[in-house]
Structure 1
Amino acid sequence: MKLSELDSADNYNDVWVLGEVVEGKVHRVTIELLGKAKDLAEKRASSGSKVVCLLMGYQLDGLEKELFSHHADKVIKVDDESLKFFNDSIHASVVTRLVKKYKPEIMISGATSKGRSLMPLVAVKLETGLTADCTGLEIDEESGLLLQTRPAYGGNIIATIKCEDHRPQMSTVRQGVFKVLPEDVSGTGELISEFVLDEEKQTSFTIISEEGLDGETRVNLHDANVIVTGGRGVKSADGFKVIHDLADAVNGAVGA
């Protein structure tokens, strides 16, 4: 949203993390981003900035406890059957409405398939900027703006981007860029329950099922301590069976 005399930057506060749930569990990138959000919020402490996680989905009971233990000050939870499957149209409408209601200063999301689909839609609806695949997020000491660093021109240069006249300042970050901060199992916070409006549930298509690709139950590359690879000598998909078997035996991941 474009800043103006009637809607100045002073009206925007807090660092939001757009949470993601996969198979009933909080995605690791969400935990990583909560740690970074804590760092950003502390640097904006003079404005009273807090870490807020927006968590959307279905049957989310109890997940807020994990978010609080990983440094969320508040959790806004939208638990509705219409959010059982990811539908970027419904999700974008809900996020946009809540951003307009609560006015976060910063909003960050994982650069997952869902984040890459949802964040651009929300940015367009809010008429603000979005910096994708950031490798660094810092607060400018003089202006208080979010400094969003990302590779550009095929990685030949590193660009630092500021969103001066629009809010929220939006970024996506790949998993593994930021480290998970130590967990505080005694952490508590404020839980806010929100909802999906009937008109937001209206969409041009309906998702009736969702299935993962074969192999998604294996350890992924981001989390693997061991990666087993195969080259041209394997020759065929059948030849990769022994690669998969070895990876399973050592609790590793398959790379090519």
Structure 2
Amino acid sequence: MRKNRIVIKVGSAILVENQKVNLVRIEALAQLISELSATYEVILVSSGAVASGFTALELDKKILANKQALAAIGQPLLMQIYAKALQPYGILSAQVLFSGYDLDSRKRTQNARNTMEVLLKNKVLPIINENDVTTTGELMFLGFGDNDQLSAYVTHFFDASLLAILSDIDGYYEENPKENPNAKIRKIVTEISQAELQAEATPNNAFATGGIVTKLKAAQFLLENGREMFLSSGKDLNILKDFLLHSKHSKGTLFTARSLS
């Protein structure tokens, strides 16, 4: 019987600070993955290729060709950073890049599943990203065009039970905490309204592509497919660690369709 499988998604808002890759956070993430690996099979979905490329060559990322060039430069740099951070824990990582076609074809999806099973069986950490160099915008026809929703599809297609999104927000609030400092986090969410799903996306980081709405769409997809999502701060990894290893839900939001009463 295999270990329970989870997907962790980390975004540019966590990985990049002041237009530089935050090495301290990546090292902390590597330590967390090492601790989780004793209990779970872990798949990592990581943004940050464009931001990593920008640290080496400052191009105007508003121009599509420049953005794709930055992704081409940044992806191997990002993988080097991960490999170095994971090395002390004896974890080997593998780069997996997806285009929209890979998840819209039964044959391609099955090929990806087969590869994923081999990697996980051999205790290799798959690090997944969208292939921004050739497919920017292509994933939109599948209903997503960012790594929040890509990670939801990865969770579903690769048979993981839960997606953990590490964000620059602590969870899903009842109200906008920027407008109401007293807004409370919704710890458990079992349903998401159409109004919530159709709100305007508002990414907070210069390199981010999503916002709370893309996370809600990811959660909705997983709820419809009998899986769960946990949204918490990527700046305090103890929240996710406590939730996954100690069943302690002090902060963050769990999106689930099952009854917890």
TM-score (norm 1): 0.40
TM-score (norm 2): 0.39
Please identify which structure carries the higher strand content.
Answer: 1
